[in-house]
A and B are shown apart, each in its own frame.
Chain A
Amino acid sequence: MLKVGAAVAGGAMLSSTRLSARNEKRAPNAKPNIIILLFDAMSARHLSTYGYARGTTPNLERFAARANVYHSHSSAGSFTSSGTASMLTGLFPWNHRALSQSAPVKRELADANIFSMLGPEYYRLGYTQNPWAQLFLGQFRAHLEEILPLSSFSFRQVASTGARFVNDPTTAYYAYDDLLVSGHQAQGQKPASLATFLYDKLIHHKLESFESAQYPIGFPDNNFYQYQLDETFSGIQKTISTLSQQSKPFFAYFHIWAPHEPFAPLREFFHQFDAQDPQVPARPQHPLAMSTFSEKDLRRERNRYDSYIASVDYEFGSLLSALEAGGRLDNAHLILTSDHGHLFERGVLGHVTPLLCDPVIHIPLMISSPGQTARKDIYTPTSNADILPTVLHLAGQPALSAGLDGVALPLLGGEADSARPIISLDAKKNSAFLPLKRVSISMRKGDWKLIRYAGYPAASESYELYNIVQDSFEQQNQFQKAASIASAMQAEMLDMLAQADKPFQKATP
């Protein structure tokens, strides 16, 4: 049953009346709690935990010291909708079909996702600051006991959004955000309500540029609400504390907007990395780059992004300390990850790009289990589609593989398998109803990564092959040089693509 929590900024959301009935001691053999903490657009390539030259994440390193650290973890999508959907459904984007921005997953997955598969044995709570991820919570709402509104932990609204209808956020989101106000004009959508559109442009727009003593270039902002990092993390901490007092085990999915654009570092971190070389080589403009940012611009934005990550890490440190001090992790698996990365190279700034360079799909994954005190490093390539089967394993449910692209992660119910193809793809401009013709596909297999770009005006079909271990900055395309590896991976990729396209091929008469 869906219960949408009241929108109380900066506070815990659960009503005391609902909890009082469950406020009993848990049985000693009770199932563990499971918490997913997802940072939007956090590229593993910018985290010191993953070897980045800048010391961006001392607190994540502290967490990693008691966790399994997956070093070659990829998102199956390069932006929120396709990446998050893969994590929540265990499917690659060509199967869940959330291909474009603001797209939901295909209808039948409303009853086949991480929440439905965990079942009512768990108290299932979802919270996201990303409106597109909120759509999935809306689609899966029959299998969540509680969805916190988008406005939770925010302090100011800066654009019209259906999220303000807290009792009917998904339907209202489609009406307002997807059609009436059309916050996604980058895709060519047009606002149906001229009055709301004008109001946002003329009135709300003025609120966006607010600065503060804490945030020198503006508050964290998801285009609809502004948040403060400390309030967000303390809200999450209070929510976890409240959930922990229940008799039932809980599964909580927290999707935090930061460090997604616009970058909003705290003042004390703002210039932290300006003078520090990130030790990343400049690379030439890519033919498919839709923008032409100069190296100077990219360097400036990289500095801001890194400062923002350091700010997020700082606040995460406070959350981690509070959870440890309160014993909240004694019976909880904490999964820390992202939905996609971000790119500052080849003329591209951002993740709305057909390019599938490593920084845009290489995401962090660290999982700490109850009682774990030592760090374990796993280098086998894994996918965020593996999260769903892993969560089921952590919940003590039987292994599930049929119908899923993901498998349980190594050390958490699964085996390391370097020969397994890990797929990431971007097909924003391709209809979800049709075979994938305009698409970028990346296949990681062992040390190798093959990328296929097809259907673009600048590249009808082109391939790039990198030895991602030896050439982590993807500078040497070895598609011609390593022909045998290339052709084997190409054949496998095209075969998988053909299988995925099969349901969308028109039946021949």
Chain B
Amino acid sequence: MLNKILDRLPKLQQITPVYAVIAFMSFAWMILVFVWKLPSWLYFQKINEILPILAYLFMQIFLDSLLYLGILLVVCMILPARLLRDDFIPRGAWAAFGAIGTYIAYVNLLFIWGDSVTQWTLAAMLIGIALAISSAYVKWLAKVAVEASDRLVIFVYILIPVSLVSILTVIIRNIN
């Protein structure tokens, strides 16, 4: 049974670059928002108070990124292999880029276009699907995804250890 499930999943070498795209986008967005906020925090708080905040941020975004990857892998298990698993790097990378990118656009436009989160969720899914499908037919799209995601893997080696240290920090701070 387990083997059957694992067979429907892409290999670790394929998952890693796709996760790199997810992690890069999620963490980059978080760091951007953090940098906007940092000057005022520096005025009101000391560095030793700000670093634990950063630990919470890293922990949550790490969990977010695992959630996105999990969703993608569940979809991969459900769909026929030729639709996603067989071309997991380009299709997965573009799907993640499209969906996360759409949400980042949404939260930036929230105040102009109102609080229509359900429609945007649908839009993000459609954009992700469209990009994933397109990458099977447009060669340069697939090439861009493979090349870019491969280069982003380096960040995984930085973000995962930092996230694990952050989780440990949060656990220690919450032990009664």
Contact = CB atoms under 8 A, between A and B. Distances in A.
Interface of A: 97, 103-107, 139, 162, 165, 167-168, 171-172, 174-176, 178-180, 185, 188-198, 201-202, 432-433
B107 A432 contact: no
A197 B43 CA distance: 27
B111 A175 contact: no
A195 B67 contact: yes
Given A171-B173, A175-B57, A202 B121 contact: yes
B53 A171 contact: yes
A105 B115 CA distance: 32
B13 interface: no
B45 A192 contact: no
B26 interface: yes
Task: Tell which of B30, B63, B121 has the most Cβ of chain A within 10 Å.
Answer: B30
Interface in B34-72: 34, 37, 39-41, 43-46, 49, 52-53, 56-57, 60-61, 63-64, 67-68
B174 A165 contact: yes
Given A171-B56, A179-B57, A185-B110, A432 B43 contact: yes
A175 B64 contact: no
A288 to B, nearest CB: 20
Nearest to A175: B56
A201 B119 CA distance: 12
B49 A106 contact: no
Given A174-B41, A202-B121, A192 B52 contact: no
Contacts of B117: 198, 201-202
Nearest to B56: A175
Interface in B84-136: 100, 103-104, 107-108, 110-111, 115, 117-118, 121
A179 B64 CA distance: 14
Nearest to A109: B44
Given A180-B30, A185-B110, A196-B60, 20 more contacts: A103-B40, A104-B45, A107-B43, A162-B56, A165-B170, A165-B173, A168-B52, A168-B174, A172-B56, A174-B41, A178-B37, A180-B61, A190-B107, A192-B29, A192-B30, A192-B34, A194-B64, A195-B67, A202-B118, A432-B43
A192 B29 CA distance: 6
The list of the 9 closest CB pairs from A to B, nearest first, reads A175-B56, A192-B33, A195-B64, A192-B30, A201-B117, A104-B44, A168-B173, A194-B103, A171-B52
Contacts of A193: 30, 60-61, 64
A182 to B, nearest CB: 8
B3 interface: no
B57 A105 contact: no
A447 to B, nearest CB: 38
B5 interface: no
A189 B41 CA distance: 14
A196 B62 CA distance: 12
A194 B26 contact: yes
Contacts of B170: 165, 168
Contacts of A433: 39-40, 43
B12 interface: no
A176 B56 contact: yes
Given A168-B173, A171-B53, A198 B121 contact: yes
17 contacts: A107-B44, A139-B44, A165-B173, A171-B173, A176-B56, A185-B111, A188-B111, A190-B33, A193-B64, A196-B60, A198-B121, A201-B115, A202-B117, A202-B121, A432-B40, A433-B39, A433-B43
B5 to A, nearest CB: 24
Nearest to B30: A192
A190 B52 CA distance: 20
A167 B107 contact: no
Contacts of B63: 195
Nearest to A107: B44
Nearest to B32: A192
Contacts of A165: 170, 173-174
B175 interface: yes
B4 to A, nearest CB: 29
A103 B53 contact: no
Nearest to A174: B53
A105 B100 CA distance: 36
A92 B68 CA distance: 47
A196 B40 contact: no
B45 A107 contact: yes
Nearest to B49: A171
A178 B110 CA distance: 17
A178 B36 CA distance: 12
Contacts of A105: 44
Contact of A191 (B53, B107, B175): B107
Nearest to B176: A167
A201 B114 CA distance: 13
A398 B64 CA distance: 54
Contact of B34 (A179, A185, A188): A179
Contacts of A139: 44
A190 B57 contact: no
Contacts of A168: 52, 170, 173-174
